[in-house]
Homo-oligomer: A and B are copies of this chain.
Amino acid sequence: MNSRRSGRRPAEYREEQTPTSGIYFKCRRPLYSGRSRFQRIDVFENDAFGRVLFLDGLVQTTERDEFFYHEMLVHPALLRHPRPRRVLIIGGGDGGALREVLRHPAVERATLVEIDGRVIDVCRTHFGWLEPSLRGGRAEVVVGDGNAFLAESGERFDVILVDSSDPVGPSTVLHERAFYARVKRALKPGGIAAAQAGALLYHLDSHRRKSAFLRRMFRHALFYTGPVPTYPGGTWCYVFCSDAVPPLGRLRRTPPGLRYYNPGIHRAAFALPNLLAEKLS
């Protein structure tokens, strides 16, 4: 944690996006700080961004800008699948991705597998997204290792969403080849996987490596981008993977209530900046 502390109450939280630059938030009210088996967890209130979740000193989500990330992780895959009945989310203990998945009436059951039960408990208390999702009867939460879940569960899914944190700490394996091979095996025929892939500006070499193995593994494996104001560099990368469905084509009807995503944004998100396209070619 890079928070600056004055006595027991931190005046400010900051994420070091590079060793010499980053983002800071003044803390109106600390809500939770603790260490789970896996990571340090901090939740606090900021006047501009509302409630903010840090894991191991990195911004995971804020009330004000989480919709950018969650809409772009979820809807491109969900709207390209003709009938996404069974959805798996790996990570995403804050519940934002699950909320977006459940906007789709086609989804009959969504399973969220989060390794850190403390993240789930803290987010159920301090963020309003998880609780309503669990009331509708279509969602279940499994506290466990997503990688092991895929290896052990015999289930198959129409859509798998990888809402991991960055490749440090417990999420490291969720950025590797062996994990994506398990994702592929857990997809039903016609299935689609989408994953967060890191910052446009800061993780270009990681994108190159990931794209290389994903393109050997899936018939369609394409990066796409979208803004996330409080994430490093402000523009985030995602990857869309499928053996059956290319990312561009007919979209099902967009659910109401979205603040970022629309069909024009869907197509636009797959237009890659030169600095990224050159790394992936």
Chain A residues within 8 Å of B, Cβ to Cβ: 14, 17-26, 28, 46-49, 65, 200-201, 227-229, 231, 233-235, 258-262, 264-265, 267-269, 271-275, 277
Contact = CB atoms under 8 A, between A and B. Distances in A.
Contact of A260 (B22, B25, B268, B273): B273
20 contacts: A18-B48, A19-B47, A19-B48, A20-B26, A21-B24, A21-B46, A23-B23, A24-B24, A201-B229, A227-B233, A227-B273, A228-B234, A234-B235, A260-B273, A260-B274, A262-B271, A262-B277, A265-B271, A265-B273, A268-B268
Contacts of A273: 227, 259-262, 265
Contacts of A268: 267-269, 271
A30 to B, nearest CB: 14
Nearest to A236: B234
Instruction: State the number of copies, please.
Output: 2
Contact of A258 (B24, B258, B269, B274): B274
A48 B267 CA distance: 32
Contact of A264 (B14, B228, B271): B271
Nearest to A227: B235
Contact of A47 (B18, B28, B235): B18
Contacts of A272: 264-265
A275 to B, nearest CB: 5
Contacts of A231: 234
A24 B25 contact: no
A48 B65 contact: no
A79 to B, nearest CB: 14
A274 B20 CA distance: 34
A198 to B, nearest CB: 14
A20 to B, nearest CB: 4
B25 A48 contact: no
A275 B260 CA distance: 6
Contacts of A259: 273-275
A97 B110 CA distance: 49
B65 A201 contact: yes
Contacts of A262: 271, 273-274, 277
Contacts of A22: 23-24
Nearest to A273: B260
B23 A47 contact: no
A268 B14 CA distance: 32
A206 B231 CA distance: 24
A21 B46 CA distance: 8
A269 B18 CA distance: 27
A47 B20 contact: yes
